[in-house]
Amino acid sequence: VVDKAEYEATIDKKEPTSSAKSDEKKTLPFASPMVEHVGAAKADCIESPRVLKSHFTYRYMPKDCGAKYIFACRNPKDVLTSYYHHHRYFKQYDFADGEFDVFFDLFMSGQVGVGDYFDHLTSWLMGIDQAEEQILFLKYEDMVDDLRSAVVQIAHFIGG
């Protein structure tokens, strides 16, 4: 949602549209970048306000920089299924022929993605306790069920 509003990226092509925004620093050849992929130095070069994505736990996020975070949580069963297909699809994981049972064990022991799902979730929930005004907690399933309400929540949170 914020990708589209800030960078005017098309959902399908992840390329900038030819809209009225002329500020080239805001127009990226992709939707908002993953911090894990571009690195902190490149992320710092993007003009503010920045929109970045990350799968980092809260403990690795900058705290006193005025940033706001939208944490979208998803049902762990769906995360497991999504990760499984993600790992089978992308060659760098070397899991194209991997069995679900094997992947389930890897997932439950925190050996895929950002580590243990529940540790990840807990880090953000503890972050909310420390800095509630900086973190908007959304459930993926709620966003799917009522996108309009989610967009309104996001707009209020980021100041729109």
* Residue 127 in tokens: 């972050």
User: Who's near 92: CB < 8 A, 6+ residues apart?
Assistant: none
Q: Which residues are catalytic?
A: 55
Dihedral of the alpha carbons of 123, 70, 36, 63, in degrees to the nearest 10 = -60
On whether the CB atoms of residues 127 and 137 are closer than 8 A, the answer is no
